[in-house]
Amino acid sequence: MNESSSDRIVAALREWVASAPAGARLPSTRSLVAQFEASPVTVQKALKALIDQGAIESRPGVGTFVRAARTARPNDYGWQTAALGSPQQHLPAASVALRAASNDVIALHSGYPDKELLPERLVRAAFARAARSEAALNRPPAAGMPELRSWFAAELANATPTGLAAPTASDVVIVPGSQSGLGSLFRSLVGAGRPLLIESPTYWGATLAAAQVGVQLVPIPSGPNGPDPADVERAFAQTGARAFYAQPNFANPNGAQWAPELADAVLRIVRENGAFLIEDDWAHDFGITTDPAPLAARDDGGHVVYIRSLTKSVAPSVRVAGLIARGPARERILADAQAHAMYVSGVLQTVALDVVTQPAWRTHLRSLRGQLASRRDLLVDAIEEHAPTTHLESIPSGGLNLWLRLPDDTDVAQLVRDCEAEGVRVAAGDDWFPAEPPGRYLRLNYSGADPGAFPDGARVIGKLLAG
């Protein structure tokens, strides 16, 4: 027989397997080589194809065997119903913002920036270096690598006015992303059944983390300029809350940035109430026409607990965030973070530190600012041109999102489904409200793939609203 192609061997063996009992042993590779007058590589290729098809299985060191035919019988998981019981709490579903983007849709929904906005070269080089470093095998300290903690502290120290004590590395805890940090903060600083003031609208993941902890949310209306301090003062007085979760810079979803006077007023109220302000500085690296001004830089009394994520600006794979807290609160937060995750992978911390300490990181941030500006403006223009019945309450000075008010009679869930059917993925604003939405909104993210398609996306939204 001439040298057989692997396809011929596959066909012949499949016939043999079909008539052999489950568990029957196949001839050795050497006998198959002889039988088919094929090279060992060709025989191996054929065997691999049959393994991939699930017809045979290889048990290393023992041999290759015919696999038992897969049964079509559905598994019975009914017993789990009794074992699980009913859930202690019904958590809200994760937002559409977490859905992956795909090439065949115009993605205006995503919460994480497209690859072209990431410092890809820096990240790849940092991973290569980290793989060769001790971090690839070692366990870092529970609070995080000292050098990375120093970096987070120094970033905030740079914004600290003279006369106030700047934070240091010993105030920092590294956590595996802000999402898990928010859970730790809500557990440590608020606790189940206790009230937490929260802006409305706010980041859906914060309401999810709060629901998981079981804290009681007290929504404070917040517009394009942030909340009204009188509302904050009243809510503290009425509820006895000891914490307020807020995003004073480029809030997700509405892009609000607090003016210095508002920041001062809220800080005063927080201090007077002996409370914490949990400041989520998620978009620190996404300033467009203004720079972020963290409130935490204006407080050295331990009232502001600050969290800054790198997962959006460095890379979604580098789930690293820095949490800065002063006083005994920090110990409590660290204990909680440790109970949940023990420590953050040293590889990820090393990569994060490597990227943000390269001179090219600053260059990247400067070019990112320009890219975000043109993407934002492109989407704003497209919406204004093609969806005239909608209203943008503000053009954000930073962040990644437009917060689009829709006509009051819009069925938002239906609009989102119709958009998806037309190849445009958008996020219903309802997810960003901790209570009933007071209006109809879409959150449109301008950091997704292919900004050239934004006008088409806006056209679809406008057409569906007009219809």
Ligand X SMILES: Cc1ncc(COP(=O)(O)O)c(C=O)c1O
- Binding residues for ligand X, rule: CB under 6 A, are 111, 177-179, 203, 205, 247, 252, 280, 282, 309, 311, 321
Pair 398, 312: CB distance under 8 Å: no
- For ligand X, the closer of residues 276 and 282 by Cβ is 282
Closest approach of ligand X to the CB of residue 112, in Å: 7
Closest approach of ligand X to the CB of residue 282, in Å: 4
Give all strands of the β-sheet with 427-428 in edge-to-edge order. 391-392, 401-405, 441-445, 427-428
- For ligand X, the closer of residues 66 and 251 by Cβ is 251
- For ligand X, the closer of residues 65 and 361 by Cβ is 361
Tokens found for residue 290: 């203004």
Closest approach of ligand X to the CB of residue 10, in Å: 45
- For ligand X, the closer of residues 42 and 254 by Cβ is 254
- For ligand X, the closer of residues 111 and 219 by Cβ is 111
Closest approach of ligand X to the CB of residue 48, in Å: 39
Closest approach of ligand X to the CB of residue 440, in Å: 21
- For ligand X, the closer of residues 111 and 448 by Cβ is 111
Closest approach of ligand X to the CB of residue 248, in Å: 11
Give the whole-angstrom CA distance, residue 306 versus residue 437. Answer: 28
- For ligand X, the closer of residues 309 and 350 by Cβ is 309
Closest approach of ligand X to the CB of residue 176, in Å: 8
